[in-house]
A and B are shown apart, each in its own frame.
Chain A
């Protein structure tokens, strides 16, 4: 019985409690309060490189093992590397390392195949001259060619062992192979097909053949007109398969299935296959051509496919008109409008208010009075830091407002807002909002749910960035291309590396055995997340066809896909039977002094683990020999082996934990992506050059020449000229403060989303945001100090009847607290909230392996955590109850706006769960210690829970509830804590279950 005891033993090791009560960090971004003395930081910089410290006797077997791993799997090998070797890659310069020879080749290929052949290095000459098109679809460049290619550039690879170790050249023949194929393809199928046609003739070194031209005019053209033009010409209602056959360029450029004909090469001509009904296409669809007609086509192609029909294809596949699409409001540049004149000049306190007031006047609603200071201070606290004010803080604010000084309320509000923006709690609140959008989680989700033990670094990066008020454009660049940005030092390099975790921590179907499909699904998830998060566009809708609502052709999707396919994404996970797709991880630079989540591995622990590993290995071998052993036993052994190996792998030989991160780096060879017909992996079509979303570009998107194009993409998104980026983000901020965005569909600014209620205000906010250097704090400050934000939330019958959704902002919409705010506030009131951020995460402690293992080890038991909710482990599909009940998200998709349900299971949770009951008794104990008289206790509680004192009637009602409850509890019989405690516990819990607590007004 290996399983149970071993798993328990492992769980015991894995579940060791975090040793550090304080967060370790030296990041310049972090507030001083979070910095820990040097002595507690893993002293990376003071160590000699690992390979020097390893005795030969240790190093040799380890290296031998590594060699074995390399031969098995490049990904695993990367994981097993000593960190120094893995570590070099993430610090890649902006210009990815393309071997010089390849660069020459790429240039040549782009100029046209004929020239390419002339200029190509000799050792690339495995393509016979003049046959450029014949070999084009890449079949000639099979696996062997890839190897030849690698050999050709072997020198370049050998000089950079880090790369070789990580696989791009030595271990992944596919990439260079693809690049050769694609650059050649691009030449023929790029946007300028007419040139390609000329190039074809030039390549063949021939002038048009008169006899063949005659054949075209006599036989071929009539057939094309009669049988093909209906669906494949400028006059077609809809161009089928993106293929136009009414020009020479159209034929050569081809459609979704690639070039229709390749002059001189019948085999490679899809059109011939189609009319022969071979290879899946059957054309013309209704009736096959006669054998004689087919023979004519074949003869014509063999003889060079002479075709006098000049000019580029006049009709494109897409029915999308990009020019016209640019007229849509969201794709137009935001414009500065002067703040409108308003009748009620007394009300507005800022330009924001003038825009709002003008809309109110136009739509016939009034504005509301300023909220009561008690309400206002609670609102500002929850909105800015996600916690309620303490009674002292609340009282101070109220007194200040009522001091009678001029602008007393304004001053009090200003000071409070500024103080809250400077608090580290701010990043925890607003970072969480961004984590919803970034679909943050610490496991893969899907069928085989694996831990991401390093995802917490991204979470902390986000929190720190909001606290440090990193300009939002910089924040975007770091998340999309942090690895490609220059860095002043290792600390910044580490931060930027961690930032790219944004692209790596999405949900993944690790069980997918089709590698291509897995790759495309990961890329799809990245495109979906990035375009929704930053641009408010649903570009992923264009994976299988042109976007149904927005002017986003399918080609735009694959232009982006090329960028992400040229990017290696590293997320870890272990190879077991249900994970066909593990990857490596990034090692953070030595001198970054990043915090570590794991305690050091003691020699004793290492021995235990190694013994366990050895035992499991032998058990596993036995089980395999013994045919009676169940499949499950064998599978369990393998899982255990994988988990143990990963556990050991998480440490350096000296027992210190490795400092790893999820993230991205450019592949050595960048490549454009094929367009997949109907999104089907089996149906690659034409190659689309890497690029951006055309409708959002002023001009055709600039050509990406070097590297993946990720940096260019990041710069394009994070640009003041991008009409969407700033608007989308200010709208998110507005929504968090008012409950409804100016555009009510925060992740969809497209045609199927909704239009802005206050377009001029949206533009005003976006433009001032940019002018302010993309400062998120200033943006929030500006809004929080506006008159409209200060409004009372009480209803107004006429306004409500006219505008129940409060589109025109005639009051502050009351709304339920977020899941995190409910939990944090309950903990705070109960006196149990630990504000010191924990280091790492329960998932980091759990380490690699199935997320289900965390449950076995009881590491997800909610009662264990008194930290703020943002630091709770986030396992996809296994949310903490307190969060799940109140509509928090588990990172399955981008969520710009959570739902706000009110369902009975929430009531059951508030009334009956042991967690809430437990907190209620903590709160009751606190309250009973605070005051001895019932009246005083009630006052204390009202201040804590609601930020106000009870009315006399409320006080009487509460006290009489206590006494009635106490009597009934007494009648129920004796309990451990006694009826008094029971009554006060019930009282505390009741306040939590009340609307006044759960709603921020």
Chain B
């Protein structure tokens, strides 16, 4: 009997051995490579000099470039392009000139369409928010509306990929992967970047992939592909064995690996493998309870809209996201799709806003109650907005020249309306925030300089913001 399995008769004992015996060695290997990388030192490291260094990419916490205002990110992606002039960009001029030609842009004869929804001012800040978001309106003072967003192309897939990776035409790492690469993650027992209900279309995995960054920075996917979130899980997270038999098996595997280590010293892969098995086992134990929403009180679930059919799905996503963030996950993305109302705007925008209003409001309140909002950066928006003019009688076309996204929490000014579109909401005119700027500002809030967060690839030091991007200091708290 090898000495390894004397002490491995229970999960607890196994975990203990992980942190003392072989685990210590593997852990040392992990932390060793967690030393400052090119990203932090600013020294272009060239391609990895050590092939084996890539075997154990660093996920441990890494220091930011400067003091961060936010430590973690929750990104709420509204796939399809929600209409800004019907939600967060109040344009009374549209009502005054209803049915008149817009007189500019690509279709100067297109007829302006007033918003079917009333706008009201809310909170001490007096932000204008429409009746599509009555619950969220009560949290107005937490929101920093960026009314002057711009992106390059009014096509879903391109804009969606650009929203996530900065550049749609080349394989680039996603925002979450960059953040994880820059900051690492707090909880080694959980993935550092999780995407919930990500769409399979519009680039699919590109939007949460790591591209040329090491694979360990890509997102762990929960649900998605129109899978019901109530049954969504992480791939292979569930062991087909009972706990006792799995522990027996893991102990046996570890005895094999210990013997192999003894035979083959300085074999980075075998060292890393033991650590990976141990992490996987811990994740297997730790992740399911985190995403098990039944552990929340009924009241808390109700606050997120769980239990009501319209808000069930997004409410679950938001609550799951909060639980993940609370457990130390660095970056969580949730997604609600279907905002592409070229027709049937009244009904369908109502439906989508209805599905998200209560969950978002519940989430913001919950984060604030827990003291998490101050260092959690919450992002909301779609790949672009919609035109102020009508398409059919009851729809709006894509608009990338001016639209709204909002931020809340960690380091942003609440109750602020930043930037502005023209009188109709057709085009951003002041303090334009291009998607590159948006990314630069997000990284800045996390303590990362978007020009220094680089990775050498294809002969260049690549950045999330390519050669562009400007931090908009005006929206920082």
Contacts and interface: CB of A to CB of B under 8 A. Distances in A.
B277 interface: yes
Contacts of A855: 200
B374 interface: no
A990 B273 contact: no
Given A447-B203, A752-B460, A754-B46, A907 B277 contact: yes
Given A521-B169, A902-B56, A902-B276, A447 B1 contact: no
A999 B269 contact: yes
B390 to A, nearest CB: 14
A899 B249 contact: no
A538 B249 contact: no
Contacts of B261: 995
B245 A538 contact: no
Contact of A752 (B158, B274, B459): B459
B55 A745 contact: no
A995 B56 contact: no
A754 B214 contact: no
Contact of B459 (A541, A740, A905): A541
Interface string A934-967: 0000000000000000000110111011001100
Given A521-B169, A852-B200, A912 B52 contact: no
B284 A908 contact: yes
Nearest to B237: A908
Interface string B149-180: 00000011110110000001101000000000
Given A982-B245, A995-B260, A877 B204 contact: yes
Contacts of B211: 892
B244 interface: yes
B323 interface: no
Given A909-B236, A998-B273, A631 B343 contact: yes
Interface string A514-552: 000000010000001000100000101100000111100
A661 interface: no
A878 B221 CA distance: 13
Contacts of B279: 904, 907
Given A957-B255, A998-B269, A912 B237 contact: yes
B272 interface: yes
A416 interface: no
B186 interface: no
Interface residues of B, number: 85
A750 interface: yes
B47 A887 contact: no
A994 B212 CA distance: 28
B240 A912 contact: yes
Nearest to B215: A901
A881 B157 CA distance: 24
A814 B269 contact: yes
A631 B57 contact: no
B264 A794 contact: yes
B132 to A, nearest CB: 21
A311 interface: no
Interface in A887-925: 887, 892-893, 897, 899-909, 911-914, 917
Contacts of A528: 458
Nearest to A958: B252
A852 B204 CA distance: 10
Contacts of B456: 752
Contacts of B245: 965, 968-969, 972, 982, 986
A957 B2 contact: yes
A892 B273 CA distance: 27
Nearest to A449: B204
Contacts of A993: 253, 277
A816 B209 CA distance: 23
B202 A900 contact: no
A447 B161 contact: yes
B174 to A, nearest CB: 12
Given A509-B158, A631-B342, A902 B242 contact: no
Contacts of A627: 392
B342 A994 contact: no
B326 interface: no
A960 B237 CA distance: 28
Nearest to A815: B269
B51 A995 contact: no
Interface in B189-213: 200-206, 209, 211-212
Interface string B244-285: 111011101101110111011111011011111101110110
Given A957-B2, A957-B255, A965-B248, A999 B270 contact: yes
Contacts of B255: 957
B246 to A, nearest CB: 8
Interface string B281-313: 101100000000000000000000000000000
B256 A999 contact: no
A451 interface: no
A902 B244 contact: no
Contacts of B206: 446, 877
Given A993-B277, A998-B273, A905 B236 contact: yes
B236 A908 contact: yes
Interface in A267-305: none
Contacts of B205: 877-878
A878 B224 CA distance: 14
Contacts of B342: 631
Contacts of A449: 204
B276 A509 contact: no
B49 interface: yes
Contacts of A248: none
A960 B1 contact: yes
B269 A804 contact: no
A855 B201 CA distance: 12
A620 interface: no
Given A893-B171, A902-B276, A993-B253, A748 B244 contact: no
28 contacts: A446-B157, A447-B157, A447-B160, A447-B168, A548-B460, A578-B157, A745-B47, A747-B458, A748-B47, A748-B459, A800-B266, A805-B49, A877-B206, A878-B204, A899-B214, A902-B55, A905-B235, A906-B276, A907-B279, A909-B235, A913-B235, A953-B2, A957-B1, A968-B248, A969-B242, A999-B260, A999-B270, A1001-B264
Top 4 A-B pairs, shortest CB-CB distance: A447-B157, A902-B272, A907-B280, A995-B270
Interface of B: 1-2, 46-47, 49-52, 54-57, 155-158, 160-161, 168-169, 171, 200-206, 209, 211-212, 214-216, 220, 234-242, 244-246, 248-250, 252-253, 255-257, 259-261, 263-267, 269-270, 272-277, 279-281, 283-284, 340, 342-344, 392, 456, 458-460
Interface of A: 446-449, 507, 509, 511-513, 521, 528, 532, 538, 540-541, 547-550, 578, 627, 630-631, 739-740, 744-745, 747-748, 750, 752-754, 793-795, 800, 804-805, 813-816, 852, 855, 877-878, 881, 887, 892-893, 897, 899-909, 911-914, 917, 953-954, 956-958, 960-961, 964-965, 968-969, 971-972, 982, 986-987, 989-991, 993-996, 998-999, 1001
Given A447-B161, A902-B276, 13 more contacts: A447-B157, A753-B47, A793-B267, A795-B265, A805-B50, A816-B55, A905-B280, A906-B276, A911-B250, A972-B244, A986-B245, A993-B277, A998-B269
